[in-house]
Amino acid sequence: MTAAPVSAELTAELLDVALAAAQRGADVLAAGARGALQITTKGEDGNLVTDVDVAAERAVRAVIEARRPDDEVTGEELPSTGPDRRRAAVRWSIDPLDGTTNFTRAIPYYATCVGVADADGRWLAGAVVAPALAKTYFAHRGGGAWLAEPNGVRRLTGPAVEPGARLLGMGYSYSADVRAQQFAAAAGHMAGYTDARILGSAALAICAVAEGALDGFVEPDLAEHDWAAAAVIAEEAGLQVNRPSPDSTELQVYRR
């Protein structure tokens, strides 16, 4: 059965909510960056969570639940709320602080990310707000990808096709076993690229490809909230996005 068309009015509304929610979370990050942090580890060594992660997710959820109380909300740090996935027309996926380790080390590559999908699994809108970089990336289905900075707003169209350096964005797993597999695959991934960069935030690396600062991005072992918002932005910038699937845990973003 073919999924029903998605209206431009709905996707624009969802983007508006995503932007407001992500901005609220980013405000919590900006305030938390100036204070003392409570840091714990979850899962593998090095996978950090702070009290700011949780506070930011609560702030994001408050915006979504106030404006769209019938939607399902999922996130990295807190249990799902609202209708289950069989009944909700819309589901939100939140990463309140993508780049937590960067945040704890005062490295500016961190962001609040809010993505939204419909009941058919189509990703409709996404917002990624990086407060320390003063950048807000956003997109909705069929509406293009955009970057708002202090000097204005511009449309994103991905990396330019020109000779010279070609940079691949990469990220490595907290799992030593997965990292070993990544090291073995790195040479193959680098084919056609001249150098690599690791930003420490999957969402911002994906957005960097949309912006044209990177030429591609690859990383396995990502959770949905890591890429939900940014992948919409990359697709609307005209990029090919291969999301993780039952056949591959790897996320790939590259020029078509």
- Residues in binding site for Mg(2+): 76, 95, 97-98, 226
Known binding-site residues equal 76, 95, 97-98, 226
CA atoms within 13 A on the CB side of 241: 23
In contact, 197 and 233? CB cutoff 8 Å: no
Q: Give the DSSP letter of residue 165.
A: -
- Residue 155 pairs in a beta bridge with 146
In contact, 132 and 108? CB cutoff 8 Å: yes
**Which residues 6+ apart lie within 8 Å of 136 measured at CB?**
19, 22, 23, 127, 128, 129, 130, 147, 148, 149
In contact, 152 and 182? CB cutoff 8 Å: no
Judged on CB neighbours under 10 Å (0-12, 13-18, 19+), 174 is middle
In contact, 114 and 60? CB cutoff 8 Å: yes
Tokens coding 254: 């590259």
- Residue 137 pairs in a beta bridge with 128, 147
| CA–CA gap between residue 201 and residue 121 (Å, rounded) | 24
Residue 60 amino acid letter: V
User: How far apart, in Å, are the Cα atoms of 141 and each of 23, 165, 252?
Assistant: 20, 31, 19
